[in-house]
Amino acid sequence: MSSFRVTGGLKLKGEITPQGAKNEALQILCAVLLTSETVTIHKIPNIRDVNKLIELLADMGVQTDKIGPESFSFNASKVDLSYLDSEKFLKKASTLRGSVMLLGPLLARFGQGKISKPGGDKIGRRRLDTHFVGFQKLGAKFHYDHQQEIYNIDGHQLKGTYMLLEEASVTGTANIIMAASMAQGKTTIYNAACEPYIQQLCEMLNRMGAKINGVGSNLLHIEGVKELKGTEHTLLPDMIEIGSFIGLAAMTQSEITIKNAKVDRLGLIPETFKRLGIKLEIRGDDIFIPSQKHYEIETFIDGSILTVADAIWPGFTPDLLSIVLVTAIQAKGTVLVHQKMFESRLFFVDKLIDMGAQIILCDPHRATVIGLDRKYPLKGIRMTSPDIRAGVSLLIAALSAKGSSIIDNVEQIDRGYQYIDQRLNALGADIVRLD
Ligand SMILES: CC(=O)N[C@H]1[C@@H](OP(=O)(O)OP(=O)(O)OC[C@H]2O[C@@H](n3ccc(=O)[nH]c3=O)[C@H](O)[C@@H]2O)O[C@H](CO)[C@@H](O)[C@@H]1O
Ligand SMILES: C=C(OP(=O)(O)O)C(=O)O
């Protein structure tokens, strides 16, 4: 288990370029299984979850070549399906959430798939019903081995159909789209998730020869094709990293320019941080955040306390609520943070309270932050990173604090933020990795 020793209180300054999007990378990497031709992907982040998925593909027989600092080519002309039965596969697949999206492509191309219960953040119950009900609607048979926690699916000629998803699951929608792309006939998916990750996946599949309409909406029409061909794809900048850098700049009074942020793909993210009083300037495709001593949280029009809540896209992403929460600590004013989707994602606030933050955890889904307006700084403490986004929130708190902090279990942060210590140190932070 690695830790960070963070010396707080330093102002950062400079430019930072976001990595390629983690959650998009996980979908796009799984999609390489859909064709026997070569797929080249650019802007692949060097993070734990992505690296594990690339390893899984290679172990399965996919030819994997690193062709540039952030570019890989993949060729899945030979796939060893017997590897799916191995202990090694099942163990590795269970360490990340994204591995579940191997199932859709496996089913589409080989008529079968198998996966152990996927991992990912322990942030509450994370059911997979949408995925399997969707596969079943396409005609696949599904069996869950409760004892070994293994999901098996089988379905040699999938048939297109109409389906109304019970919930707009992000990875579930991606899985169903990939399975339906090669099913016989037409599939309609209503209440589909439409995050930029999904839009990117659909655009890539269309370049491969798929026929998907409605991209960007929650109503997708997919005309199945017999086969898909190779393509080239560039990942979007990671919008969750971008939001994290905005929060970091505000909390540490830093002047930061986020380069090439693809601002038009960020949805409500810039607006939500602006509502906390943070000044953002959009300069071309960059976001400039000036050093700000004070930032004041808006109220609603009727003067009542602002609520920031998550919602499915184009609502505000749940993955940035922990960052909003930590950013509000040094704001002026009060905000209610309402995490509707996950039930165990806010418990990390006890560490922030230990550091001196004024937060009331109302219940597992809601926390009220009463901003300190820099009347006093947080104080450094020792803490453990429970999940990826809480981990980065603790890092932001530690960077703003007086004194030094130790953050344990930074593997959680490494799941989703590449070289975060080195990149922030280049802006003037003092983070030491202790192995
Ligand atoms: C690898 C990956 O891409 N992970 C992301 C993906 O996870 P993932 O795809 O696993 O998350 P889902 O979209 O399936 O669901 C997230 C949570 O929201 C609930 N839910 C979802 C939709 C809905 O209409 N109603 C509802 O209550 C689900 O029950 C679940 O608790 O999407 C989540 C939601 O944006 C993000 O937090 C994760 O970072
Ligand atoms: C919850 C997240 O990731 P995962 O779905 O991989 O656990 C996240 O990226 O914030």
On the question of pLDDT at 290 being above 90, the answer is: yes
Share of the chain above pLDDT 70, in %: 100
pTM over 0.90: yes
414 belongs to the catalytic site? no
Average pLDDT over residues 42-69: 97
Q: State the span(s) of the chain assigned CATH 3.65.10.10.
A: 3-19+237-434, 22-234
Q: Is the dihedral of CA 89, 91, 92, 93 positive or negative?
A: positive
Amino acid at site 228: L
Helix H segments across 252-385? 269-275, 321-327, 349-354
H helix or E strand, kind and range, residue 115: strand 112-116
On the question of pLDDT at 123 being above 80, the answer is: no
Average pLDDT over residues 402-419: 96
User: Among 59, 65, 85, 121, which one carries the catalytic annotation?
Assistant: 121
CA 310 to ligand 2 center in whole angstroms: 14
Q: Which ligand is nearest to the CA of 340?
A: 1
Average pLDDT over residues 280-309: 98
Pick the closest to residue 269 from 236, 304, 293 (CA basis).
236
pLDDT at 170: 98
CA 207 to ligand 2 center in whole angstroms: 27
Binding-site residue positions for UDP-N-acetyl-alpha-D-glucosamine: 97, 319, 341
**Token reading at 420:** 């975060």
Q: Which ligand is nearest to the CA of 313?
A: 1
Pick the closest to residue 324 from 315, 337, 313 (CA basis).
337
On the question of pLDDT at 421 being above 90, the answer is: yes
Pick the closest to residue 137 from 152, 168, 159 (CA basis).
159
* The domain made up of 22-234 is a member of CATH 3.40.50.920: no
Regarding the beta carbon of 418 and ligand 1, being less than 6 Å apart is answered: no
Helix (H, G, I), strand (E, B) or coil at 154: strand
ipTM of the prediction: 0.98
- Alpha carbon 42 to its chain's center: 17
Regarding the beta carbon of 98 and ligand 1, being less than 6 Å apart is answered: yes
CA 198 to ligand 1 center in whole angstroms: 13
CA 170 to ligand 1 center in whole angstroms: 6
Regarding the beta carbon of 24 and ligand 1, being less than 6 Å apart is answered: no
Q: What is the CA radius of gyration of the chain?
A: 22
Please give the C-alpha separations between residue 421 and each of 243, 267, 358, 434, in angstroms, as whole numbers.
17, 27, 27, 11
Residue 95, number of CB atoms within 10 A of its CB: 16
Q: Which ligand is nearest to the CA of 119?
A: 2
Regarding the beta carbon of 121 and ligand 2, being less than 6 Å apart is answered: yes
Class of domain 3-19+237-434: alpha beta
- For the stretch 37-50, pLDDT in tens is 999 999 999 999 99
Give the closest residue (by CA) to ligand 1 atom 28: 341
Amino acid at site 4: F
Residues paired with residue 222 on neighbouring β-strands, in sequence order? 187, 212
